[in-house]
Amino acid sequence: MKKFLVLNGPNLNLLGVRQPDIYGTETLDSIESYIESYAARKGFAVEFAQSNHEGYLIDKLQSAMEKFDGVVFNPGAYTHYSYALRDAVSAIGIPVAEVHLSDINARESFRAKSVIAPVCIAQISGKGKLGYIEALDLLNAATSYAE
Ligand code: DQA
């Protein structure tokens, strides 16, 4: 069974209370349950992690290399400036799909640039929680069974 990590970065633990006009009213827990039931229906396993700390996200990406077939990654604001996370994504050799709940191209100009997207298989932005589902489908299509 394929296994994917769904990794969320800073401030995404505040979903539900954080700027609901932009990010909606659903909590991260609720979005994760939604992803989990989709994954179960499709027959792959998912694991979830969230952190407000860049180093933790790097450690998690590095350890994903041996444990997962791919990563769905919402790096939060790190998207726009973390070369360390970009390097981690490049280093691990498994596909990573970048997801943003909001449309980063339709907000402040600093959000339109992702330093991580160029090393990801795709960037999905502005589709809310459905973006995570689309990312899982892309990762599923981009990976094959080891045996
Ligand atoms: C975000 C977009 C980022 O610009 C922002 O810093 C976030 C959330 C999104 O999911 O829309 O924290 O990644």
Here the CATH number for the domain that contains residue 126 is 3.40.50.9100
What phi-psi label fits residue 47: left (phi over 0), alpha (psi between -120 and 50 degrees) or beta? beta
Q: Which atom of ligand 1 is nearest to the CA of 22?
A: 11
Q: What pTM, to 2 d.p., does this model score?
A: 0.96
Centroid of ligand 1 to alpha carbon of 101 (angstroms): 7
Residue 40 sits at the vertex; the CA angle it makes with 37 and 50, to the nearest 5 degrees, is 60
Q: pLDDT tens, position by position, for the chain (147 residues)?
A: 999 999 999 999 999 999 999 999 999 999 999 999 999 999 999 999 999 999 999 999 999 999 999 999 999 999 999 999 999 999 999 999 999 999 999 999 999 999 999 999 999 999 999 999 999 999 999 998 654
Is the dihedral angle over the CA atoms 110, 15, 54, 37 positive or is it negative?
negative
Residue 78 sits in which domain range?
Answer: 3-146
Residue nearest to atom 6 of ligand 1 (CA): 77
Centroid of ligand 1 to alpha carbon of 62 (angstroms): 22
Place of tokens 């969230």: 50
Active site residues: 23, 100
From CA 145, how far away is CA 116, in angstroms rounded? 26
For the chain, how many structural domains are there in total?
1
Q: Which atom of ligand 1 is nearest to the CA of 77?
A: 6
Residue 144 has a pLDDT of: 80
Residue 145 has a pLDDT of: 65
From CA 106, how far away is CA 144, in angstroms rounded? 35
Residue 2 has a pLDDT of: 96
